[in-house]
Amino acid sequence: MNSLILQRVKSEASCMLDTGKTIREIAKMFKVSKSTVHKDLHERLLKIDQKLFKKIDKIMKYHIDIRHIRGGESTRNKYLEKKLS
């Protein structure tokens, strides 16, 4: 594996552990696509560090469990902004 990719995977994992940010937020920070971050944290990290993968997988599953709530909040805020404009 390319050393730049290896470094990016470790940095993304560290960022998710420290901040709890979502895949989309991490993708914006590292200026890569959501698909790249997902592949980094779901496939490549498993090959690099299994203990770290388990911690990241737990966070990612939590994000999946609450995504319907975040989506609802986002939609609500969108319409509140329109109403106030």
Mind listing the pLDDT tens digit for each residue in 2-36?
Answer: 999 999 999 999 999 999 999 999 999 999 999 99
SS3 2: coil
What pLDDT was estimated at residue 31?
Answer: 96
Q: Which two tokens stand for residue 71?
A: 């989506």
Q: Give the angle 38-30-36 at the CA atoms, nearest 5°.
A: 25
Domain total in the chain: 1
What ranges in 20-84 are assigned the alpha helix state H? 23-30, 34-39, 45-48, 50-84
**pLDDT (tens digit, 9 = 90+) per residue, 53-84?**
999 999 999 999 988 887 788 888 888 888 88
Q: Which residues form the domain of 17?
A: 3-84
